[in-house]
Structure 1
């Protein structure tokens, strides 16, 4: 089969437009195949060729499905059993940072309806800087400035200090009511711009110590040994360690096992790889600034102690390389419970999406397989915890480029054996952090679905859901092979009464 035919078949599948659930208006994707023929280059389709697509299909069949056995003795042979998949075992997530912040009840309703229809997992923001703007005043509970009424009156939401940082209790309750998996992001991160509050360094560093530290530039501080820094600021070092521990304990005590998983530490592999995380040192000369010594290990040690065993503890990073793998191995060799490897993939630069369309070597199948092969050596499930795919230019072609890249990458990621989930980052255009692209969403700012939404919805809710009818054999057993997840089956008994039962398909042989 030649490349052009494969390309046309893929596009026909991609631009099917099933109605979007729960009343969100559908905008049908326009354009003809001849127009779409110019979207991606021949070089792109050479990389994503028929052999690659066939391997992806085989791996999906092998890694994401299982054989169900329904032992229904007593039913006559030939009885029809209706099989309906009601949930996925695989995580299809997104962050929920814009909860009640989109400016109208209508937009907020459309946003919330995605959780439970497209997404079965929500990443909740716990960035310390905005979660605890003032010492000892964490923002668990909703206040007026977190309400929909407040945000509906705000003209420039991006200028509000808590934009993309809603109070967490309303989100937890919303997700619990809808059966959405919850993921907390993040407990510890060295980044002062986005995570660590200003008071952490200003209020708890004595003036005398602050003056000593301020005599050194960042480069000069970096040249000092941890012992020299500790001698300069012993109270600062002690308080920094205490506050980091207090935060982890506070989150564990407050939520217990209500939040299913956490990023315990975010993006610390660079410090590990530089050799600055030294056991026993009280200060780490992090590339972010000063941090408690060996802070990743210490954070996991605390989390291991205070969180329930059924709460999964993740590490999260963008490096996807040997440094990250070695960090995970080092943590586990020292007794840290690390349950999941978090991996990131951000195409923030619109040019990257254009380069991919031209067939350049960016997130090609071989590159993705190689990265996943490295991370799989840790022996843990992999959660692709943050992904961004930008729509270059956000014109018709740019949106189609985004959709095609998303479809192919999701198929590839879904096929990888240790992969347990994929989490899209910014769902709505214009709702990213400063510096992130404004057109990387699945929806426009007024919640109109883009082609990328249809691409993912078609995969998650159609291609990757098993809905079928099977018949009972002479031995009273019915069988089917389906995507892993929760199922509802129904049939009529001899009295013509409808019977229903549910079960979870996880491994071959699961059923009734």
Structure 2
């Protein structure tokens, strides 16, 4: 501390912070929550009633704020002290899958500006299928086809094989330069469409083993035991296991703790209590392909061996049910280190959001509380790692429905004790994966802000930021209660010199060490 003059009676270190941009516009004067909320039905407000809102407010104050007591030895009683929050402890993130891919330099500039102003975390794509299109050739570094120049000239970006799959190195460096938490997604996932490379089978399964496996239909193969499959294709079984281990080892060796958090395994609860048994070398995954036996347990074990201890090792799933929670508890009982439990919420179908506005029981407060209660059994911080809220129509009414739903759900999620972060999935319209809604962004395809953007900005950069001016009391102290995060304090000392200090107000357990 500077000259030892400022005594902070709170001294918990904060990590993963984001700079609050004081230049961020306060919001669109043409949109405000009080007016927009009228678009929702009475049935909706019966679910989101005054008692619910009071509970949310109470829990936000209880779980997202902390008390501070500052003592100023070099200041006289009555000295004016300026206290400004400069970053959040809580994670507000988005995926950054369209880095330099939006077609113009201006769109890309606006896109990047969101990270470090609205978002303090960026989920970076490491999907194996496009990250390593050929064996032993991982796409860490930017090549010409990853550059802004390349994408600005592309007429049909969605037809490109690496659409939404940019090279990660430039993004990691960008995040570090902005003080943003880079987050890797995902190391292991059984999904053959988006993650599992075809070359695993093509290259590593010998001809004689392919011939044996080809005698079985997909349904017949799915009924074979791990022992029977191992007898049919022992070389391939061993090769798949080695490939999974090698992928973990390469990512850990390359990035170390430069990427401080990873989804180690994604959406694997579908295989829990299925055919994957600890000790088996292969499993008939419910994704319809052959994976290392108990690949979730195996991948976490390997990750804990090779990643630095200050890197967060996390699990992620859409299940949000008892089976997923039981899987996590089972992994913890096996001695696996899991730092954060990821949860997803996707309102992909526009009709779902119309139904929400109509008051149907979809993602109501009670439903959310029940899900979080089940997941909290694992006693881990929860990251709402992927969310999608679709504008049911691409017009003013539809966009306002999206904004009101987002505003209320973010408030609810922010109030949950075990929640450590919320990550919006696709922030630009028509930039999701095939089959995902085209109007689920916070921005139009031309990077024009929608009401949902202003709704989140109102919460994150206005309502959930603590800034105040106070005067020291007779004991030269200032007490206040504020949102958890990093603060800057400025005051005038007895000498006439202006002093400034930065301190951290409480740290919520987000898995970072």
TM-score category, normalised to shorter length = over 0.9
Distance 2:272 2:188 in 1: 15
Native 8 Å contact 2:283 2:290 kept in 1: yes
1:73-92 alignment to 2 at 5 Å? Answer: 73-92=73-92
User: Structure 1 residue 172 and structure 2 residue 160: aligned?
Assistant: no
Q: Where does residue 379 of structure 1 map in the other structure? A: 379
CA distance in 1, matches of 2:384, 2:27: 28
Once the two structures are TM-superposed, the CA of residue 290 in structure 1 deviates from its matched residue by 1.1
Aligned CA RMSD, in angstroms, stands at: 1.7
**Match of 1:203, SS?**
helix
Change (3 A) 1:338 1:122: same
Other structure's SS at 2:264 match: strand
**Structure 2 matches for 1:32-181, cutoff 5 A?**
37=38, 39-181=39-181
Label 1:504 to 1:80 Cα distance change in 2 as closer, same or farther (>3 A). same
Q: How far did residue 489 of structure 1 move?
A: 0.7
1:476 lines up with 2:461 in the alignment: no
SS at match of 1:213: helix
The Cα shift of 1:493 comes to 2.3
**1:34 positional shift:** 7.4
Distance 1:416 1:35, change over 3 A: closer
Residue 214 of structure 1 deviates from its aligned partner by 2.0
- How much does 1:497 deviate? 3.1
Gaps spanning 5+ residues in structure 2: where? 1-20, 509-513
Give per-residue Cα distances to partners, 1:22-73, cap 9 Å, x unaligned.
6889765469977863x21100000000000000000000000001111112
Q: Which residue of 2 aligns with 1:213?
A: 213
CA distance in 1, matches of 2:453, 2:74: 45
Could you report, residue by residue, the CA deviation over 1:442-465 in whole angstroms, capped at 9, with x for unpaired residues? 000000000000000000000000
Shift of residue 498 of structure 1? 2.4
SS in 1 for 2:142: coil
Q: 1:28 to 1:202 in 2, by over 3 A?
A: farther
Residues 1:233 and 1:172: Cα distance change in structure 2 (over 3 Å): same
Alpha-carbon distance in 1 for matches of 2:29, 2:427? 19
Contact persistence 1:27–1:449 (CA under 8 A): no
Matched, 1:360 2:360: yes
Contact map agreement 1:27 1:448 (CA 8 A) in 2? no
Q: State the partner residue of 1:419.
A: 419
Residue in structure 1 matched with residue 229 of structure 2 by the alignment: 229
Deviations 1:92-149 (A, max 9, x none): 0001010011111100000000000000000000000000011111010111111111
The farther-off stretch of 392-401 and 25-34 is: 25-34
Q: Give the superposition deviation at 1:392.
A: 0.5
CA distance in structure 2 between the partners assigned to 1:149 and 1:117 by the alignment: 26
For residues 445-501 of structure 1, the C-alpha deviation after alignment (integer angstroms, 9 at most, x for no partner) is 000000000000000000000010111111111111000000001112234432111
Does the 8 Å CA contact 2:320/2:371 hold for their aligned counterparts?
yes
User: TM (normalized to structure 1)?
Assistant: 0.93
Provide, for residues 301-321 of structure 1, a one-character-per-residue CA deviation record: whole Å limited to 9, x for no partner.
Answer: 000100111101000001011
Aligned CA distance change for structure 1 residues 92 and 25 (closer, same or farther; 3 Å): closer
Q: Is 1:432 aligned to 2:418, yes or no?
A: no
Report Cα offsets for 1:388-421 as digits up to 9, x if no partner: 0001122111101100000000000000001000
Per the TM alignment, residue 74 of structure 1 is displaced from its structure 2 partner at its CA by 2.8
Inter-partner Cα distance in structure 2 for 1:22 and 1:417 = 31
Q: The residue matched to 2:272 in structure 1 has which SS?
A: helix
Would you say the 8 A contact 1:344–1:387 is kept in 2? yes
In structure 2, the partner of 1:343 is 343
Describe the SS at the equivalent of 2:341.
strand
CA spacing shift, 1:23–1:318, aligned 2, 3 Å: closer
What's the TM-score once normalised by structure 2's chain length?
Answer: 0.92
- In the alignment, the residues of structure 1 paired with residue 168 and residue 116 of structure 2 have an alpha-carbon distance, to the nearest angstrom, of 18
SS of residue paired to 1:394: coil
Equivalent position of 1:467 in the other structure: 467
Q: Distance in 1 between matches of 2:482 and 2:63?
A: 11
Equivalence map 1:204-283=2 (5 Å)? 204-273=204-273, 275-283=274-282
Map 1:21-36; keep pairs closer than 5 Å: 28-29=29-30
Q: Are positions 1:442 and 2:426 aligned together?
A: no
Residue 118 and residue 35 in structure 1: after superposition, are their counterparts in 2 closer, same or farther (change >3 A)?
closer
Map of 2:506 onto structure 1: 506
Q: Give the 3-state SS of the residue equivalent to 1:494 in structure 2.
A: coil
Given that residues 24 and 110 in structure 1 are in contact (C-alpha distance below 8 angstroms), is that contact kept between their aligned partners in structure 2?
no
Contiguous gaps of at least 5 residues in structure 1: 1-19
Question: What SS class does the counterpart of residue 204 from structure 2 fall into?
Answer: coil
CA distance in 1, matches of 2:31, 2:266: 41
SS of equivalent to 1:351: helix
Q: What is the DSSP-based 3-state SS (H/G/I as helix, E as strand, rest coil) of the residue aligned with 1:393?
A: coil
Report runs of 4+ in structure 1 exceeding 4 Å deviation. Answer: 20-28, 30-36
